[in-house]
Structure formats: C-alpha cells, structure tokens
C-alpha cells in the first residue's frame, strides 16, 4: 500500500501547492486523480516517485520514501509520463526497454523483456525503431519498460492525453489487466471518460483533496465533476440521460451501457 500522511509541498515560492494530503492507494485498484489545471496532480505524482520531496510522510509498503534508495523505489514504483516522445532514447525498442533494467541492475533481462512485450502484445516491435512508431505505440513501449521492471505501483501522469482513440482504448485494456494482476494504478487525467475505469476517484482542488469518490458512488456524483473538464464526452451524457430516466446501469463499459439504452 502507498500511504500519504499530512503531505504538503511548495516550490521555491512559498505558496503551498499541495496542502495536508492524506491518501491511501492499494494494490488491485485503479485510482484516477482529477482536478483543474494547476490543482497539483503532477506535483503529487512527482512526490510519489520522489522526484520532489515535501513535508509529511509517504510510505511505500510501510517504508518511508525519504529513507528508500532510488533503485529500491524504482523497482516498486514505476512511472509513465504524458509525452511518449520524451521517454524513448534508443533506436531499437529492445534496447530501450533493456536500458531501464540495466540501470536497476535487474537479472533475467531477456525473459523480463520478452514477458513485458508479450503482455503488451508488442512482440513484433522489439527490433523496430521507437522513433518510427506512433505516439500510442511509443507510449506502450514506455509502459513495457515499466512492466519489465515489474513494480507493484504504477504512477501514470496523463499518459493518454496525446494519443488517439484506438491507442487510448488499448491502454485502458492494459490498465484493467494490470489491476487484475494485483497491480496498483494511480493515474491523473484531463479526460472525463477516464473516470469510468476507476475504482476510486480523487478530486484535487487547489492542492486540497476535495473529494474521494468510490466507483459505486460515481453515478450520483458525476454531474458535479463536469466543471473540472473542458468537455463532457458523449458517453457521460448518455450515463446522465440513463440516470435521469432511472434506468439501472450495471457497469460503465460500452456494452452494458448499450444494454441499458435498450430499456429506454
Ligand atoms: P496539474 O498537474 O494539476 O495541472 P501541477 O502539479 O502541474 O498541476 O501544478 C500545480 C501548481 O504548481 C501550478 O500552479 C503550477 O504553476 C505550479 N508549478 C508546477 N511546477 C512548478 C515548478 N517547477 N516551479 C514552480 N511552480 C510550479
């Protein structure tokens, strides 16, 4: 489990960007962090990966992050960033994934790479040049590099914001698979429909945890979340329509929603 106790943070100027954050993230769970631009989502990710260090305590499996060696931390907590172009270094996918493993001195490199590529259905890509791939494919390579390390926790900072519809759907599928395998996914987003893959939604407002919404409570809260995002996607409008008509929704996946629509 990742646990934050009274975590606060300010950059060089004294204004506090995160204020007294108390949160828990468990394995086998997808948490989606939302909040308007500037609410502190990225700062929070950077604290969870110790790129930034603030006040308060962060525990990773009961170990205080401040006392953890970087290599130990990287083996437990993986991170993927928004821009896939910033995450490729070599001109061969295999070398790119291996680089992460070399840095952490991990054994069984070949096996790890093979397994990660298989899990991401990227086996055919290992000899390819990442610089010749689409953004979605590059992002999957970035996830592969983390998968090969096999951390328990994945911090994903707006990882789908630059990729197309199909690429996004691929990534949602991967995240659900990781969750099934007991991994802990912590993802920030600016895309409203991504709240639908969450087990838990954390709403940040000006550096404060304004709300924590469980999946079961999402439907009754969804209307209040619209203001955070620039667009209300069609799927959310459909959910709100069904709710208004009092039609039960069994799950947030497209097939279940279509089934509910049949009852209108
Ligand atoms: P979000 O990811 O929700 O958009 P951020 O964590 O990126 O929010 O930013 C939160 C606040 O911190 C913003 O007001 C932003 O201007 C400020 N901020 C972010 N990075 C820095 C930095 N390196 N130095 C100073 N202020 C920063």
Read off the pLDDT of residues 84-116 as tens digits, 9 standing for 90 and up: 888 888 999 999 999 989 989 999 999 999 999
Q: How many Å lie between the centroid of ligand 1 and the Cα of residue 11? A: 8
CATH number of the domain residue 148 falls in: 3.40.50.300
- Angle at Cα 154 formed by Cα 149 and Cα 158, nearest 5°? 125
Query: Looking at the structure, do residues 11 and 123 belong to the same domain, yes or no?
Result: yes
Query: Looking at the structure, do residues 192 and 248 belong to the same domain, yes or no?
Result: no
Query: Looking at the structure, do residues 90 and 162 belong to the same domain, yes or no?
Result: yes
Instruction: Identify the pLDDT of residue 9.
Output: 97
Domain residues for 260?
233-264
Residues whose beta carbon lies within 6 Å of some atom of ligand 1: 11, 17, 35, 37-43
DSSP conformational letter for 102? H
Q: How many Å lie between the centroid of ligand 1 and the Cα of residue 38? A: 5
Tokens representing residue 131 in the block: 């610089």
Query: Looking at the structure, do residues 58 and 92 belong to the same domain, yes or no?
Result: yes
Give the residue-averaged pLDDT of 227-250.
91
List the end-to-end C-alpha distance of the chain, in Å, as a whole number: 42
- Helix/strand/coil for 177: helix
Residue with CA nearest ligand 1 atom 24: 11
Instruction: Identify the pLDDT of residue 206.
Output: 96
Query: Looking at the structure, do residues 245 and 138 belong to the same domain, yes or no?
Result: no
Query: Looking at the structure, do residues 260 and 208 belong to the same domain, yes or no?
Result: no
Question: What confidence category does residue 253 fall into, taking pLDDT thresholds of 50, 70 and 90?
Answer: confident
- Estimate to the nearest angstrom the gap between the alpha carbon of 7 and the chain centroid: 20
Q: Is the pLDDT of residue 120 over 90?
A: no
The answer to pTM > 0.75 is yes
Query: Looking at the structure, do residues 19 and 57 belong to the same domain, yes or no?
Result: yes
Report the run of H or E that residue 235 belongs to, with start and end. Answer: helix 234-244
Query: Looking at the structure, do residues 216 and 240 belong to the same domain, yes or no?
Result: no
Give the residue-averaged pLDDT of 209-227.
94
Instruction: Identify the pLDDT of residue 262.
Output: 87
Mutate to test the pocket of ligand 1, among 9, 15, 37, 43 (most ligand atoms within 8 A of CB): 43
Residue with CA nearest ligand 1 atom 21: 11
Query: Looking at the structure, do residues 177 and 128 belong to the same domain, yes or no?
Result: yes
Question: What confidence category does residue 250 fall into, taking pLDDT thresholds of 50, 70 and 90?
Answer: confident
**Alpha helix (H) ranges present in 49-162?**
70-76, 93-103, 109-119, 135-149
Query: Looking at the structure, do residues 32 and 121 belong to the same domain, yes or no?
Result: yes
Contact 171, 143 (CB under 8 A): yes
Give the total number of structural domains in the chain: 2
Instruction: Identify the pLDDT of residue 54.
Output: 96
Query: Looking at the structure, do residues 52 and 120 belong to the same domain, yes or no?
Result: yes
Residue with CA nearest ligand 1 atom 7: 42
Query: Looking at the structure, do residues 260 and 191 belong to the same domain, yes or no?
Result: no
């Amino acid at each position: 489990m990742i646990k934050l106790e009274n975590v606060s943070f300010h950059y060089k100027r004294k204004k506090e960007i995160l204020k007294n954050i108390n949160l828990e993230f468990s394995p086998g769970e997808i948490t989606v962090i939302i909040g308007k631009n500037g609410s502190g989502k990225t700062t929070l990710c950077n604290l969870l990966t110790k790129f930034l260090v603030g006040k308060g305590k962060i525990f990773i499996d009961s170990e205080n992050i401040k006392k953890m060696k970087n290599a130990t931390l990287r083996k437990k907590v993986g991170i993927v960033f928004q821009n896939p172009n910033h995450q490729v270094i070599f001109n061969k996918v295999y070398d790119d994934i291996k680089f992460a493993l070399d840095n952490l001195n991990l054994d069984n490199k070949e096996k790890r790479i093979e397994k990660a590529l298989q899990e991401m259905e990227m086996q055919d890509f290992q000899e390819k040049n990442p610089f010749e791939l689409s953004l979605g494919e590059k992002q999957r390579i970035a996830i592969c590099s983390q998968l090969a390390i096999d951390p328990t926790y994945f911090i994903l900072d707006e990882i789908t914001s630059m990729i197309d519809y199909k690429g996004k759907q691929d990534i949602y599928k991967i995240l659900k698979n990781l969750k099934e395998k007991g991994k802990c996914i912590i993802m920030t987003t600016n895309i409203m429909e991504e709240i639908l893959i969450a087990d838990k939604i954390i709403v940040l407002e000006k550096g404060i945890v304004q709300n924590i919404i469980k999946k079961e409570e999402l439907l009754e809260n969804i209307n209040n979340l619209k203001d955070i995002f620039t667009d209300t996607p069609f799927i959310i409008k459909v959910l709100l329509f069904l709710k208004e008509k009092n039609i039960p929704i069994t799950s947030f996946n497209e097939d279940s929603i279509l089934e509910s629509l049949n009852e209108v």
